[in-house]
Every structure is written in structure tokens, then in C-alpha cells.
């Protein structure tokens, strides 16, 4: 059984530029049934945006009775410079890193530091199920 991140990550990460509006990012996540987006400036990973980030921003705007008419961008609420994991790292290292950082996903980079996937909790659950099957 393969135990490297590259074998369990979700490739073809969906991304937005930092200038995308929060509403655009929210719509994209809902339409694609995903919980996080890579924030890319050209080929560069500049941040990560989670569904929780969007919910918190909208709740704050509602609580402050602010309108989203100013069309705030994802750059204002994303996590900048996210921690990444190499595609050659072990799944165990990725899971440990996610636990320590209390994050639900990690961007995965290739040997040149380019984004090539994302490893989420769902990917880890899929890994656990497959490992469990091989033990029975």
C-alpha cells in the first residue's frame, strides 16, 4: 500500500485569485461542493480560504450591519502563506501536521514548490478505510 501524500491527495485544486470577492468564492465552493480554495496569484500559492473563513466574514458583516456592497475580496480573510506539505511526505506526517496546526487540509507541493494538490480530512478518512480493509 502506498503511504505518500501524492497517492491520497486531491489533485486539480480549485483556486481563486486574491481579488475574487468573498461572494464569488462562496458560490464556487457551494457549486463544487468543496470546503477550501487555494488563493493563487499567477503560479504562486498566496493563501488558503476555507468555508469557515467565509462564514465568519459574513457573520461579522451581518453582526456589524455592514453590507457586502463594498465587495470585499478573499485576500482580506484568507490565511496567507499557508503551511504546505511535499507530495513525497508520508500520510502519517501530514495527519500529524494537520492535528498540530488544527487545520482540516494542507496544500500539497511538488519538488519545485508548485501546488499540485490538497490533502483534506476526507482524503485521510479514505486512506484509513483502505488501510483498514487491507488489515482484515
Looking up cell 485576500, which residue turns up?
75
Region of 102 on the Ramachandran plot (φ > 0 left; ψ -120 to 50 alpha; else beta)? left
pLDDT tens-digit map of 4-16: 999 999 999 999 9
Q: State the 10-residue block means of pLDDT for the chain, 136 residues long.
A: 92 96 95 96 95 89 57 92 97 97 96 95 95 88
Q: Within 10 Å of residue 102's Cβ, how many Cβ atoms?
A: 6
Q: Can you list the domains of the chain with their CATH numbers?
A: 5-135 (3.10.580.10)
| Backbone torsions φ then ψ of 18, nearest 5 degrees | -60, -20
DSSP 133: H
Question: Torsion angle, CA of 99/15/36/66, rounded to 10 degrees?
Answer: 130
pLDDT tens-digit map of 88-100: 999 999 999 999 9
Amino acid at each position: 500500500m502506498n503511504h505518500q501524500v501524492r497517492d491520497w491527495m486531491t489533485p486539480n485544486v480549485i483556486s481563486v485569485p486574491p481579488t475574487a470577492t468573498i461572494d464569488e468564492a462562496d458560490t464556487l465552493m457551494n457549486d463544487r461542493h468543496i470546503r477550501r480554495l487555494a488563493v493563487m496569484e499567477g503560479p504562486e500559492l498566496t493563501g488558503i480560504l476555507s468555508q469557515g473563513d467565509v462564514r465568519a466574514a459574513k457573520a461579522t458583516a451581518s453582526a456589524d450591519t455592514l453590507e457586502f456592497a463594498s465587495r470585499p475580496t478573499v485576500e482580506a480573510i484568507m490565511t496567507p502563506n499557508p503551511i504546505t506539505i511535499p507530495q513525497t511526505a508520508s500520510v502519517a506526517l501530514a495527519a500529524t501536521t494537520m492535528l498540530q496546526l488544527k487545520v482540516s487540509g494542507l496544500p500539497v507541493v511538488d519538488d519545485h514548490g508548485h501546488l499540485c494538490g490538497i490533502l483534506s480530512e476526507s482524503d485521510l478518512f479514505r486512506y484509513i478505510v483502505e488501510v483498514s480493509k487491507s488489515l482484515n
